[in-house]
Amino acid sequence: MRIVLLGLPGAGKGTQAARLAEVLGVPHVATGDMFREAMAAGTPVGLQVKAVVEAGAYVPDGLTIALVEERLRQPDCAPGFVLDGFPRTVGQAEALDRLLGRAAARLDRVLLLDVPEAVVLARLTGRRTCPACGATYHMASAPPGPGGACLRCGATVVQRADDREDVQRRRLETYRTLTEPLVPFYAAAGRLVRVSGEGAVDEVAARLRAAAVGA
């Protein structure tokens, strides 16, 4: 299955995409994770995008599309994928359609994780991330171990530079301007399913599973 998860920053896309991908047996492809890994490794792409990502703006479409195109060409993506954080602009969505069209494939579903802005702000403020393995925590709903230790690898979790309060606002504005137009774009194509992202992680996961495989 080829699935896109849409939603505000902090809606829970990463948390849910990882679970959904596991259930469906396809890779979880997250452009934000790919950029963070490139930044941590100091690759040319990482150095190029660091300032933009940390300011809460979007990486240019050309670079982002090239990165995704290369990833989706890998054999493990042949049976499908769960895309998280891509597409984020209409240009990226059109490029994805062209890319899939060349392989005679199409998206099965676009799932919009619906969460009110107030909830998203609380999720972003409490989010902590492991700089070593990428695991995500929340200080209230899914806390790390004593002293902020990652429960998976033991490294000390940190707050993402783009989760600081001033940058959060910028990211929400960027989403409203550049990403929200994807909602009518995919709705017009009959591919959009809205799923409430409120409630416990397990409840949301069950709703998403039903929406992903439902008729």
In whole angstroms, how far apart are CA 55 and each of 49, 164, 172? 10, 10, 12
Q: Give the shortest CB-111-to-ligand ADP separation in angstroms.
A: 12
Catalytic residue among 2, 13, 71, 128: 13
Q: In which residue are the tokens 């499908």 written?
A: 80
Residue 98 among the catalytic residues:
no
Catalytic residue among 36, 88, 123, 128: 88
Q: Give the shortest CB-214-to-ligand AMP separation in angstroms.
A: 25
Vertex 97: Cα angle to 93 and 98 (nearest 5): 115
Determine the interface stretch with ligand ADP among 46-54, 71-79, 132-140, 152-160 (rule: CB under 6 A).
132-140
Half-sphere exposure of 107 (CA within 13 A, CB side): 25
Residue 171 among the catalytic residues:
yes
Catalytic residue among 36, 123, 171, 207: 171
Q: Is 92 among the residues that bind ligand ADP (CB under 6 A)? A: no
Burial class of residue 16, CB neighbours in 10 A (0-12, 13-18, 19+) = buried
Residue 207 among the catalytic residues:
no
Residue 127 binding target from ligand ADP, ligand AMP, none, CB below 5 to 8 Å by type: ligand ADP
Is 10 strand, coil or helix? coil
Q: Which two tokens mark 154? A: 């033991």
Catalytic residue among 50, 152, 160, 170: 160
Residue 2 among the catalytic residues:
no
Nearer to ligand AMP, 134 or 144 (CB): 134
> Among residues 168, 135, 131, 148, which one has the least CA distance to residue 10?
168
Residue 13 among the catalytic residues:
yes
In whole angstroms, how far apart are CA 86 and each of 59, 104, 158? 11, 20, 24
Q: Is 123 among the residues that bind ligand ADP (CB under 6 A)? A: yes
**Given the rule CB under 6 A, which residues bind ligand ADP?**
7, 9-15, 123, 126-127, 136-138, 141-142, 200-201, 204
Catalytic residues: 13, 88, 127, 160, 171
